[in-house]
Structure 1
Amino acid sequence: MSGSGTTRRDLFKLGAATAAGLIATRLGAADGAEPVGMARPVPKAPFNPATATAMPTRNLGRTGLQVGLFSLGGQAAIEKANNEAVAVPLIERALDLGVNYVDTSARYGGEARWSEQYFGQVMKRRRKEAFLATKTHDRTADGSLRILETSLKLLQTDHVDLWQLHAMSTMDDVEKVCAKGGALEAFQKARDQKLVRFLGLSGHTDPDVLAEAIRRFPFDCVLMAFNAADTWHLPFKKTLLPLAIEKEMGIIGMKIPARGRILEGVPPPPPTQQRGTAKHDRPGTLTIKEAMRYTLSHPVSTVIIGVDNIAQLEENIRIARDFLPLNAAQLEALEQKVKPVYGQASWYKRDAPANPPK
C-alpha cells in the first residue's frame, strides 16, 4: 500500500464517501432531488394535527418537537415476518389517533428488516405526520452509512428525524464509535447532508455506558430502558436521567412492560424460549396503566411501547390521554409491588439477577 501512495485512512475516506454518494444518488433518482454535491434544504418538522387533542405532549429536549406521551415502538407485531396485514393497519391507526413519534431499527425484524419495511409503507404517504426514528447497530462510519442508505430506502423517505446508535452496551462500544472511523463520523456527515435531523443513542444494559457517551458527544436524544423495576438493579434514573436532563436532551423511556414480564396475568414462556440470567418464572405484578404511569411520572419526554394489536394500541393511548402523575409515595409503592419480579423485569441489564425467592 505504501508504494502506491494509498493508506488505510485513504481507503476509509473513499469507502465512506462512496457510501454517502450512494445515498445521495439513490435519493436523487427516487424523488427528483438536487444533484449530488448541491445543498439539500433542511427537512421540515413533522406535524400530526390529531396529537393536540389526543393526549398531553412534552418537549423532546432541544429538538423543538412537542411529542405525545405515548409513542409507537417498532417491535412486537411490527417486527414479525410477513405480518403486513396486522402491522401496517397498526401504524395507520396510531397516526390516526394522534401518535406523532414512531421508532424502529435496522435490527427489528431480522435481516429483512421487516419493521422498517412496514413503516415505509405508511411513511410514503404520511411522512409529514410522524417524527421518525431509526437506529444503526454498526460501530463504524462506513458500515453505519450503508445501514442508513438501506433504512432510507425501506422507510421510503429522504431523511429520518432521529438516527440513533443502537444498544450501546459496553465502554468498548463507546470507544469504537468515538474513534477515528467510528460511527460518530457517519452521524455528523449524515446530519451535515441533512439525511438526518437529530442524533441519539439507545441502551439497555448499563446506565454508566450511556452516561459516558453523552459526556463525550452532544447527542440530542437518549432512549433508555426505564420501568418500575429500574430502582432495584443498575438504576438508569439515578445515573443517567439527571445527566440527560442537565444536557437538555430528549428522553425516551422504553421497556415499560418489559415485554410483558412486569405485567400481571402474563404467564412465563417455557424455559427453552428464555435467555439470560433473569429467568421469567412467574407472572408480573403491575397493570399496563401502573407501568406507564410510573415512567411518565418522571421527567421523560415520551415512552415507546410495541403492541400486538389495535386494542392494545388504543388502551395505551387512553392511558396517555388520561395520565395523572404519581406522587413520591405512590411511586415507591409501585417499586415495592414489582420487587418480587424485578429480576425478570430487568433481564436486559448487565448481570441481571434472578427473581427473589417466592
Structure 2
Amino acid sequence: MREPSETGSADGGRRGVLGAVATTAAAVAVGAAGCPSPAAPAAGEAPARTLGRTGAQVEPVSLGGEGILRTTGRHREAVPVILEALRLGVRYCDTAPAYQQSQDYYGEAFRAAGPKAREQVFLASKTHARDRDGALRLLDDSLRRLGTDHLDSWQLHDLRDLEELDAIFGKRGAIEAVEQARADGRVRHVGITGHHDPRILLEAMRRYPVDTVLCAVNPADPARLPFLTTVVEEARRRGVGVIGMKIMAAGRLLQDGAASATELIRYAASHADTVIIGCSSIAEVRENLGARSLSFPMPPAERAALEARVAPRAGRYDTFKAG
C-alpha cells in the first residue's frame, strides 16, 4: 500500500530560509515553562474564519504535519514545537499515520499541556488505506497514539487516480469505515486531500458530501492542472472547507527568490480558509503563527502580479502534480 508523499507543507526549504534555533535548549526551556495556555488574539490580527460547513473557527495559518513533526525519535525537538503552537492559540492541527511519529508527538504534547489542550484545536488526521478494515485499523491506532477518543476530521489521504476512488467507494471500501466511525463518534467530519490531479478531488466531491478538502495552493497553480479554478471553486459552491498546502512549493519559491514567505502566505490564505505550514523549530512556529497579523485578503491585482512573476518557472514549482 502506498504511503503518500504529500506534505502538509512547511515546505521543507523554509527551514533553511528562516534559520535554526538551538532546538535542544528550546525543548528544555519549554518543558520548564509548564503547560501552555492559549494566547488571546492580539490587536490587528486577522479574524478567525469558518472552515466550511464544519463550523470550526480557524486562523489563516495553522500547524502542518511536516518539518520536525515528520521524523522519528526526535521527541525533544518535536514536542516543544507543538507546545508552542498550543501556547500561541493554534486552532487547526494536521497529522497523518504516514508522517512517521507525528501522531506520537501530538499525544505527548497533549498530555504535557493538560486536559484542555486537545479541546482547543480542530485535530485532523488521515487514512491512506483504501479498504474498510485497513482504514479502521489505522483510525484506532491514530486515536491511541494521539491520546484522544475522536478526530475532528478524518481525511482520505493523497487521492491520485480513479482506481483508488473505485476502491474507496466500492464494497468494503474506506468510505464504509468513514460511515461507521462517524456513527460511533470516533470521527466528526470527513475530508479529502490531494495535490496530484484536481480532477480526482472533483470526482471525490461528486461521489460523497465531504466537509473539507486539503489541496495545493500557490501562485504557480494557474499554469497547469489548476486546483484554484477547479477544486477550490467547487468546494466553495458546495460549502466545503478549504485547507491550503504546498504554499511554498517545497521551499523552491523561497529558494529562487520568486516570492517572499509573506507574499506566499497572504496569497494562499486569500484562497483557503487556512493554510498549513510545517515547522522545524519554535522560532518558525512563532513566525508562521505571527502571520495572522498580515493583511488579508491579498488584492486581486497583487495576486495576478505574483502569478505572472512566477509563471515563467511554474514547472519547477508544481512537480508534485501529475506528469
Q: Same fold (TM over 0.5)?
A: yes
Q: Distance in 2 between matches of 1:324 and 1:249?
A: 20
Do the aligned residues in 2 keep the contact of 1:72 with 1:103 (CA within 8 Å)?
A: yes
| Partner SS state of residue 182, structure 2 | helix
TM-score (norm 1): 0.76
Q: Distance in 2 between matches of 1:316 and 1:237?
A: 23
Q: Distance in 1 between matches of 2:41 and 2:237?
A: 27
The answer on 1:58 being equivalent to 2:11 is no
The amino acid of 2:217's aligned partner reads F
Do the aligned residues in 2 keep the contact of 1:51 with 1:100 (CA within 8 Å)?
A: no
Give the alignment partner of residue 249 of structure 1, picking from 230, 240, 253: 240
What are the equivalent positions in structure 2 for 1:206-245 lying under 5 Å apart?
206-245=197-236
**Which residue does the alignment assign to 2:30?**
none
The answer on 1:160 being equivalent to 2:172 is no
What are the equivalent positions in structure 2 for 1:80-91 lying under 5 Å apart?
80-91=71-82
Q: Distance in 1 between matches of 2:50 and 2:126?
A: 21
Do the aligned residues in 2 keep the contact of 1:123 with 1:157 (CA within 8 Å)?
A: no
Q: Distance in 1 between matches of 2:75 and 2:251?
A: 23
**Which residue does the alignment assign to 2:316?**
344
**Which residue does the alignment assign to 1:333?**
305
Q: Distance in 1 between matches of 2:194 and 2:257?
A: 23
Deviation at 1:340, TM superposition (A): 3.5
Deviation at 1:103, TM superposition (A): 0.3
Please list every run of 5 or more consecutive structure 1 residues that lacks an aligned counterpart in the other structure. 1-47, 267-282, 352-358
Deviation at 1:49, TM superposition (A): 5.1
Q: Distance in 2 between matches of 1:146 and 1:213?
A: 22
Q: Distance in 1 between matches of 2:313 and 2:286?
A: 27
| Partner SS state of residue 78, structure 1 | coil
Deviates more, 1:124-133 or 1:320-329: 320-329
Deviation at 1:216, TM superposition (A): 0.8
Do the aligned residues in 1 keep the contact of 2:38 with 2:88 (CA within 8 Å)?
A: no
Do the aligned residues in 2 keep the contact of 1:226 with 1:253 (CA within 8 Å)?
A: yes
Do the aligned residues in 2 keep the contact of 1:55 with 1:98 (CA within 8 Å)?
A: no
Q: Distance in 2 between matches of 1:59 and 1:49?
A: 19
Give the direction of change, closer, same or farther, for the CA distance of 1:51–1:260 in structure 2 (3 Å limit).
farther
The amino acid of 1:331's aligned partner reads R
Deviation at 1:171, TM superposition (A): 1.3
Which structure has the larger Rg over C-alpha atoms? Answer: 1
| Partner SS state of residue 279, structure 2 | coil
**Which residue does the alignment assign to 2:276?**
304
**Which residue does the alignment assign to 2:166?**
175
Do the aligned residues in 1 keep the contact of 2:38 with 2:87 (CA within 8 Å)?
A: no
Q: Distance in 2 between matches of 1:56 and 1:315?
A: 18
CA offsets, 1:170-202, max 9 Å, x none?
Answer: 111111111011100000000001001110110
Do the aligned residues in 2 keep the contact of 1:131 with 1:161 (CA within 8 Å)?
A: yes
| Partner SS state of residue 250, structure 2 | helix
**Which residue does the alignment assign to 2:63?**
72
Deviates more, 1:161-170 or 1:320-329: 320-329
Deviation at 1:56, TM superposition (A): 2.5
The amino acid of 2:291's aligned partner reads I
Percentage of pairs with the same residue? 43
Give the direction of change, closer, same or farther, for the CA distance of 1:82–1:247 in structure 2 (3 Å limit).
same
Deviation at 1:341, TM superposition (A): 3.1
Q: Distance in 1 between matches of 2:124 and 2:296?
A: 27
**Which residue does the alignment assign to 2:106?**
119
**Which residue does the alignment assign to 1:37?**
none
Deviation at 1:64, TM superposition (A): 1.4
Deviation at 1:123, TM superposition (A): 2.4
CA offsets, 1:230-272, max 9 Å, x none?
Answer: 1111000111111101110111001111221111xx3xxxxxx
What are the equivalent positions in structure 2 for 1:109-148 lying under 5 Å apart?
109=100, 114-124=101-111, 125=114, 126-148=117-139
What are the equivalent positions in structure 2 for 1:277-316 lying under 5 Å apart?
283-298=256-271, 300-316=272-288
Q: Distance in 2 between matches of 1:251 and 1:52?
A: 22
Q: Distance in 1 between matches of 2:178 and 2:47?
A: 31
The amino acid of 1:311's aligned partner reads A
CA offsets, 1:306-340, max 9 Å, x none?
Answer: 11112222112222222332222111111122223
The answer on 1:322 being equivalent to 2:294 is yes
Please list every run of 5 or more consecutive structure 2 residues that lacks an aligned counterpart in the other structure. 1-36
Q: Distance in 2 between matches of 1:149 and 1:292?
A: 34
Q: Distance in 2 between matches of 1:51 and 1:179?
A: 46
Q: Distance in 2 between matches of 1:62 and 1:315?
A: 29
How many residue pairs get aligned? The number is: 281
Deviation at 1:51, TM superposition (A): 5.8
Pairwise CA RMSD: 1.4
| Partner SS state of residue 262, structure 1 | helix
Do the aligned residues in 2 keep the contact of 1:78 with 1:118 (CA within 8 Å)?
A: yes
